[in-house]
Amino acid sequence: MSYEKSIIGSLMLDPRAIESVKAIVSPDDFANSHLAEVLGAIYALSDNDKPIDVLSLADELKSAKYNSRIGVSDLADMQDEVPSAAHVEHYAKGVKDDAKRRAVQRVSEHALTAESGTEAVEEAINALTSIDSGQGDRQVDANQALISVMKKTEAIFNGEVKLQSTGFADLDEQIGGFEGGRLYILGARPAMGKSALALNFALTAIKNNIPTMVFSLEMPSDEVMYRMICAASGLNTRAQRDMQESDWPLLTGGFNVLKDKPLIIDDSGGYTISFLKSQIRAHAAKHEESFYIVDYIQLMKINGFDEVVGFGEISKELKTLAKDIGMPIVILSQLNRGLEQRTDKRPMNSDIRSSGQLEQDADVIIFIYRDEVYFENSEFKGTAELIIRKNRGGEMGTVRVRDELRFARFSDIGGGYSDYN
């Protein structure tokens, strides 16, 4: 079966993949005009929040705006012949590559038969270069780039572009808050509190009515929510196992803080990058501003790759996704055990598991370090260091926060931040 039919069959099997496919291929990329209309109909149904199945699609294709000859039995055959939607992005990229090759051939033929001489040939060569690279629409000259910088700076100055608060004043001062289109990595060894900090970020976002999605590969959704209740109210995380009368007002207080907030928790686990991208794209398409957390990257599926290559591919895809949707994405990451052997156990970028590509793609890298985990009598007991080891376009440094992990949270100390060299 052709890639074009495989795409249609896959999208009927799993409409959640529509947004990720839409980012790769359009109906104009299809060689078969009838199948192109089917893809257009799928996109139209999706845009109008209508179901995507054989019967709904067949009804849509009967409307006057379509000329497709494809009916119910054809659609059913395409769906039946695709075992799953797991490879739909591969099919989409294949169709896109075929479309580029056809475009190259058309432009080449035009150049060879041009009657207007040099100008036509040069025009064709330029078009060929753009098609072949697939980057023609991303090229800007110096003046365009300068105008873009000035417009962005003016918009930030006028408050038209929101930098989402992290919830920590000193951290906001250091990194400027969470900026749309950026990829953030939050790394720590076990017991340092990386999930707690990430949920603190999420809590701040939803308190500011920013639609937020948390992809929890480790904790079930009810545990995620319980931790957020504790963080919001000051309820001890152990209280659920032995509730006292005095705990109930805190529990209900946290409940009321979180009630009706724009939060989605996905704990289905075992995500592929295709699934994750489709979910984020679909969510982002509905909101002018949003925020995303993935906890944590090393639990994602890396079908057919070794660990370094697999997580590197995931990192590149998420970086591209953040830029495409213009929203911040925070990835949690495990760290290698090797740092435990060092005298100074504060993490470095090289400690990130499968670090090469992750380090390269991240705009900001933050590590959590709690000295008391290693040194019982530490003078810094009750605090944690948020170490900024990478800050694209900004300074690195260390922000000290108060450790309140018994409430599943950290809080501001207000002591400023120290330069990191």
Q: What is the pLDDT of residues 5-51, one digit of tens each?
A: 999 999 988 888 888 888 888 888 888 888 888 898 898 888 888 88
CATH of domain 1-139: 1.10.860.10
Question: At residue 121, does pLDDT exceed 60?
Answer: no
Residue whose entry in the numeric block shows the structure tokens 């509190």: 193
Question: At residue 386, does pLDDT exceed 90?
Answer: yes
Q: What is the mean pLDDT of the chain?
A: 81
Specify the pLDDT at position 417: 43
Q: CA torsion 159→165→169→170, rounded to 10°? A: -100
Question: At residue 418, does pLDDT exceed 50?
Answer: no
Higher pLDDT, 1 or 115: 1
- Per-residue confidence band for 240, with pLDDT thresholds at 50, 70 and 90: confident
Higher pLDDT, 257 or 418: 257
Specify the pLDDT at position 185: 92
- The Cα–Cα gap between 274 and 257 comes to 33
Q: CATH 3.40.50.300 occupies which residues in the chain?
A: 169-419
Higher pLDDT, 169 or 341: 169
Mean pLDDT computed over 254-259: 89
Q: CATH 1.10.860.10 occupies which residues in the chain?
A: 1-139
| The model's pTM | 0.66
Specify the pLDDT at position 112: 58
Count the alpha carbons within 13 Å of 197 in the hemisphere toward its beta carbon: 31
Specify the pLDDT at position 99: 83
Contact 381, 209 (CB under 8 A): no
- Per-residue confidence band for 85, with pLDDT thresholds at 50, 70 and 90: confident
| Assigned token pair, 302 | 């890396």
Top-tier CATH class for 169-419: alpha beta
**CA 248 to mean position of chain CA atoms:** 36
Mean pLDDT computed over 103-108: 67
Specify the pLDDT at position 416: 46
Residues 6+ away with beta carbon under 8 Å from 334: 187, 189, 296, 298, 353
- Per-residue confidence band for 293, with pLDDT thresholds at 50, 70 and 90: very high
- Per-residue confidence band for 135, with pLDDT thresholds at 50, 70 and 90: very low
